[in-house]
Chain A
Amino acid sequence: MYPHLDVFRPTDYLKPSNIREAVELLARYGNSAFPIAGGTDLLVEKDPKIKVLIDLTDLGLNYIQSSSEGMAIGAATTMSEIGASPALRVGPYLMLAEATQEIGTPQIRNMATLGGNICRPSPAADTAPPLLALEAFVKIAGPNGYRDLEIEQFFKGVNQDALQPGEIVTEIRISNLPKRTGTAFIKKGRVAAGDLSIVSVAVCVSLDHGNLCSKVRIALGAVAPTPLRAREAESLLVGKVPQRNLLTQVAQKVSEEIRPISDLRASAEYRRTLSRVLVERALNEALSRIV
């Protein structure tokens, strides 16, 4: 009756010093425990069920490592750090770096983390479409050790992810992509800063030596219960020369494939139209970046 009287009053603030300890604490306290990385959603939502806060700062999960296999980003790396990283401002990773700079405000970007963005699995999480289009892997630590999950398997529904009790995301991994690959990310909100996406689009296109599309990945946010891949649209382009009229058809297919809702930000109809426009724009941008 008086929901405001049921207030956010956690009783403990714990700061484990390694991953094993963090996982044990999360498992021990179950539903009453909540992990904090950036913490930016925690104090907006102020869920009264949360009694034990588990600070993940000291787990050593703040890093960006490139290797011969690809890129590994620690889950506690902030949006600002990703956006400013020279290693991520090149090649196919560029769109991920760009997407992080479209999130929230400068202050929020200094706090919010990559792991946090996907573990608060809003349909509008802006790093989700780039990670889907890059076919990232999520490394998860839990009471039974580590497991790897394709990012597409991670998003289960509105604000639902694949994490089991006691599990945390420790790392996001992106495998190397073919040399002739271009990517692009476009987000539209109602205003330029600090707003959730009406639609966000990430595309990743690889060309073979005959200039045919060898790999096409198109991912969108805020147009379905989870961030999603538009696979039917992708398949229209694979093996083809990316000509202008074909890109228009692909974009049209995307607008048919998505499942948007009407809410306070936009109508479903507007989201379909906007998706079509942004996908075509993003495909052109990605293709123009292939050297």
Chain B
Amino acid sequence: MQNILLKVNGVSYPVDVTPYDTLARVLREKLGFTEVKIGCENGECGSCTVLVDGKAIVSCLMLAAKADGSEITTSRGLVKDGKLHVLQEKFIEHDAIQCGYCTPGMLMSAKALLDMKPHPTEEEIRRAISGNICRCTGYQQIVEAIAAAAAEIESSP
């Protein structure tokens, strides 16, 4: 066991981890961030996607010890002052959620995209979520929701 420090959604958490604990397991099971979904646990499905120091990564393939000292954002961290992020609102409006299991990961890949490219093309949106699998296959609505969020961010003052 070693003690590491993870800053999750702006709050610092000291936590004891083993050398083989993944960031996904630690976030879910030791810190209670259950919005981080574990799907394949093999880096393929993207449901465990979180931002580490602003970059989208799959937390099932990152050891918690490697993330020591990092700033992590989960989909819960998108909510500010009790208000949903525009991406979350647009996902709801566009019915971009069916079973919902891929949604937290989709949101984080979309957030990483908009942080880097505020005006993405449809092609860029599709590439940005190419590491997130939706088994309900609701990709069209997800792409539309992300495009709508980008448009709203652009038009807001």
Tell me which of B61, B128, B130 has the highest count of chain A C-beta atoms within 10 A of its own C-beta: B61
Contacts of A39 in B (CB 8 A): 61-63, 66
Contacts of B65 in A (CB 8 A): 13, 15, 53, 55
Q: A57-B66, A106-B130, A107-B109 are in contact. Are A43 and B60 (CB under 8 A)?
A: yes
B68: nearest residue on chain A (CB-CB)?
A15
Contacts of A9 in B (CB 8 A): 20
- Asked if B10 CB lies within 8 Å of chain A CBs, one says no
Contacts of B132 in A (CB 8 A): 105
Q: In chain A, residues 1-48, which have Cβ atoms closer than 8 Å to a Cβ of chain B?
A: 8-13, 15, 36, 39-40, 42-44
* Cβ 8 A contact of A106, one of B19, B42, B44, B56: B56
Q: In chain B, residues 21-80, which have Cβ atoms closer than 8 Å to a Cβ of chain A?
A: 22, 42-44, 46, 49, 55-58, 60-63, 65-66
Contacts of A42 in B (CB 8 A): 61, 63
- Asked if B131 CB lies within 8 Å of chain A CBs, one says yes
- Asked if A192 CB lies within 8 Å of chain B CBs, one says yes
Complex Cα–Cα for A127 and B62 (A): 22
- Asked if A80 CB lies within 8 Å of chain B CBs, one says yes
Q: A107-B49, A193-B131, A194-B131 are in contact. Are A43 and B55 (CB under 8 A)?
A: no
Complex Cα–Cα for A42 and B46 (A): 17
Contacts of A238 in B (CB 8 A): none
Q: A107-B46, A110-B55 are in contact. Are A44 and B19 (CB under 8 A)?
A: no
A106→B66 contact, CB < 8 A: no
B-contact 0/1 string along A144-172, CB 8 Å cutoff: 00000000000000000000000000000
* Cβ 8 A contact of B61, one of A44, A53, A106, A193: A44
A194→B44 contact, CB < 8 A: yes
A-contact 0/1 string along B88-112, CB 8 Å cutoff: 0000000000000000000001001
- Asked if A261 CB lies within 8 Å of chain B CBs, one says no
- Asked if B155 CB lies within 8 Å of chain A CBs, one says no
Q: In chain A, residues 76-127, which have Cβ atoms closer than 8 Å to a Cβ of chain B?
A: 80, 104-108, 110-111
Total count of chain A residues near the partner, CB < 8 A: 27
Nearest CB of chain B from residue A97's CB, rounded to whole Å: 15
B2→A193 contact, CB < 8 A: no
Complex Cα–Cα for A243 and B109 (A): 45
Contacts of A8 in B (CB 8 A): 20
Complex Cα–Cα for A55 and B130 (A): 28
B42: nearest residue on chain A (CB-CB)?
A44
* Cβ 8 A contact of B131, one of A15, A43, A106: A106
Complex Cα–Cα for A36 and B61 (A): 11
Complex Cα–Cα for A9 and B55 (A): 28
Complex Cα–Cα for A80 and B127 (A): 13
Contacts of B57 in A (CB 8 A): 107, 110-111
Q: In chain A, residues 226-252, which have Cβ atoms closer than 8 Å to a Cβ of chain B?
A: none
Q: In chain A, residues 44-70, which have Cβ atoms closer than 8 Å to a Cβ of chain B?
A: 44, 53, 55, 57
B62→A111 contact, CB < 8 A: yes
Q: A80-B55, A111-B61, A111-B62 are in contact. Are A104 and B131 (CB under 8 A)?
A: yes
B22→A107 contact, CB < 8 A: no
Contacts of A57 in B (CB 8 A): 66
Nearest CB of chain B from residue A12's CB, rounded to whole Å: 6
Known: A39-B62, A80-B55, A106-B112. 8 other contacts (CB 8 A): A12-B19, A39-B66, A40-B43, A104-B131, A106-B128, A107-B56, A111-B58, A193-B131
Rank and list the top 10 A-B pairs by shortest CB-CB distance, nearest first: A105-B131, A193-B130, A13-B19, A13-B65, A10-B19, A110-B55, A107-B58, A107-B131, A43-B61, A40-B61
A-B contact pairs, 22 of them (CB 8 A): A10-B19, A10-B20, A13-B2, A13-B19, A15-B65, A39-B61, A43-B43, A43-B60, A44-B42, A105-B58, A105-B132, A106-B56, A106-B128, A106-B130, A106-B131, A107-B56, A107-B57, A107-B58, A108-B131, A110-B57, A111-B61, A193-B130
